[in-house]
């Protein structure tokens, strides 16, 4: 009895219930070195609590004081995710297949390991369907090849998932399915630093995911639907995001914070694109409710956070996609006027009134286009479900490939194999042509 008296004499049951802190501050352990132990212990955001005793199953009939119950409640709150960092050990997603290149056929693996020298030839254009990838339940908004693991393709869907495809695998081609977003995913991009993808969507966040481990590494929370993301071409620790409230932000992955914000009072951001030297970027926004001759396409100075020009495109159309040519001094904008406009990338960023890419349709869909790595080809999706391939120098249509029954939304050239492109559709299909 004396022992029981000493154990519970400090707290009376008549004391009021302690109120937990309204916003517990998590402690970040990422700076501490990892020290393996013989008996692994769970990590908590409140390390000062004696959690080992709190987690033991109570003995039958054992009295539990109000203090113990309050502390147990604080422990349950400790599992809430940090606004930026999230504990790696509590998040897992579907692992369906291997992401290793060892699953590839020998001929495909050989082609990828022997990168051709110099620019590829224009005659090497995709001709037929090679691989059909089915896995999304709704429309697919974006596809992107990994620059470091070139056999892997990422896709972002309206079904709130990101799929990682081991495209030429002899086994399961859908290797990973990530459902970290709780709303539709708008965009996905691979990092240059390894098997990581960055995604964004309607849940007002961007998320960095470790593909190999199947873990969510970082969350970048925003105050708007994030519609587009783009890594800086020279520093993959930086990425640009644009959203529904017209806000453009440059983020640093290392700190999880905004480095620069570009303010102009724009409509929803439709697309962003860095210049090849990384010193400028172009933004495209929906300006249907304001002066259409201003702010539709803006060229920004990335370091000074000011527009270099906001009267680039005077046509009464919005542009769902902007892309810089990899070598030549111009960029293009996909227009809802059912053509791709061409602009000089040097001040005053003039529109080429005598040349443009025509024949495909946009019709209000978020149709994207992309240059091949050699700069010789420009590929565009189309509202009629086809892929249109143009000679980038002459703007002449070279080939049309009927791909889907519904709109073909995005196109991505393979980073090594010049005759291979991936595409996605409004009906949820992902395809690879070669």
15-44, pLDDT tens digit by residue? Answer: 444 444 444 444 444 444 444 444 443 333
Report d(CA 360, CA 390) in Å as an integer: 11
In a domain? residue 236: yes
In a domain? residue 143: yes
In a domain? residue 252: yes
Give the C-alpha distances (Å, rounded to integers) separating 366 from 18, 145, 159, 322, 338. Answer: 53, 19, 17, 11, 12
pLDDT of residue 173: 94
Q: What is the mean pLDDT of residues 312-333?
A: 93
Is 220 in contact with 236 (CB distance < 8 Å)? no
Report d(CA 201, CA 156) in Å as an integer: 9
pLDDT of residue 291: 56
pTM metric for this prediction:
0.78
In a domain? residue 228: yes
Please give the tally of structural domains in the chain.
Answer: 1
In a domain? residue 80: no
Instruction: DSSP for 68-136, please give it.
Output: HHHHHHHHHHTTSPPSSB--GGG---EE-S---GGGS-HHHHHHHHSPPPSPPPTT----SEEEEEE--
What three-state secondary structure class fits 256?
Answer: coil
Report d(CA 405, CA 110) in Å as an integer: 34
Report d(CA 160, CA 138) in Å as an integer: 9
What three-state secondary structure class fits 15?
Answer: coil
Using the structure block, give the residue that is written with the tokens 């002899």: 170
Report d(CA 25, CA 60) in Å as an integer: 34
Residue 257 sits in a domain whose CATH number is 2.130.10.10
Report d(CA 170, CA 163) in Å as an integer: 18
Residue 152 has pLDDT above 60, yes or no: yes
Q: Which domain holds residue 200?
A: 132-263
Is 358 in contact with 367 (CB distance < 8 Å)? no
In a domain? residue 234: yes
In a domain? residue 415: no
pLDDT in tens, 67-117: 555 554 443 333 333 344 444 433 446 788 888 887 787 878 777 777 655
In a domain? residue 88: no
Residue 222 has pLDDT above 80, yes or no: yes
């Amino acid at each position: 009895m004396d022992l029981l008296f000493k154990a519970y004499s400090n707290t009376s049951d008549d004391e009021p219930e302690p109120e937990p802190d309204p916003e517990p501050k998590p402690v970040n352990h990422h700076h501490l070195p990892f020290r393996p132990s013989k008996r692994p212990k769970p990590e908590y955001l409140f390390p000062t609590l004696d959690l080992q005793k709190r987690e033991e199953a109570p003995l039958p009939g054992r009295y539990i004081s109000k203090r113990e119950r309050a502390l147990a409640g604080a422990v349950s709150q400790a599992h809430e995710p940090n606004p930026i960092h999230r504990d790696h050990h509590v998040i897992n997603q579907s692992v369906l297949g291997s992401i290793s290149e060892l699953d590839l056929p020998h001929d495909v693996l050989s082609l990828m390991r022997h990168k051709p020298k110099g620019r590829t030839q224009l005659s090497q254009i995709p001709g037929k369907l090679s691989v059909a990838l089915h896995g999304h339940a709704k429309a697919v908004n974006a596809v992107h090849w990994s620059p470091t693991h070139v056999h892997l393709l990422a896709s972002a869907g309206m079904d709130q998932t990101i799929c990682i495809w081991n495209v030429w695998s002899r086994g399961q081609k859908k290797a990973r399915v990530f459902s970290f977003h709780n709303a539709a995913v708008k965009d996905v991009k691979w990092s240059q630093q390894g098997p990581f993808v960055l995604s964004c969507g309607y849940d007002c966040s961007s998320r960095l995911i470790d593909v190999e481990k199947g873990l969510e590494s970082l969350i970048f929370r925003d105050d708007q639907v994030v519609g587009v993301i783009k890594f800086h071409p020279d520093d993959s620790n930086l990425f640009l995001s644009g959203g529904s409230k017209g806000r453009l932000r440059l983020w640093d992955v290392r700190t999880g914070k905004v480095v620069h914000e570009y303010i102009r009072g724009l409509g929803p951001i439709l697309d962003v694109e860095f210049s090849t030297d990384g010193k400028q970027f172009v933004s495209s926004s929906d300006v249907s409710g304001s002066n259409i001759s201003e702010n539709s396409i803006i060229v920004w100075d990335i370091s000074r956070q000011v527009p270099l020009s906001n009267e680039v495109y005077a046509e009464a159309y919005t542009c769902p996609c902007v892309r810089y040519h990899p070598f030549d001094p111009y960029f293009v904008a996909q227009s809802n006027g059912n053509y791709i406009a061409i602009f000089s990338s040097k001040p005053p960023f003039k529109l080429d009134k005598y040349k443009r890419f025509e024949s495909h349709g946009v019709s209000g869909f978020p149709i994207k286009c992309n240059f091949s790595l050699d700069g010789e080809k420009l590929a565009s999706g189309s509202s009629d479900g086809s892929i249109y391939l143009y000679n980038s120098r002459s703007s002449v249509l070279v080939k049309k490939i009927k791909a889907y029954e519904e709109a073909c939304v995005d196109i991505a050239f393979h980073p090594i194999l010049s005759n291979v492109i991936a595409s996605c559709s409004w009906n949820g299909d992902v395809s690879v042509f070669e």
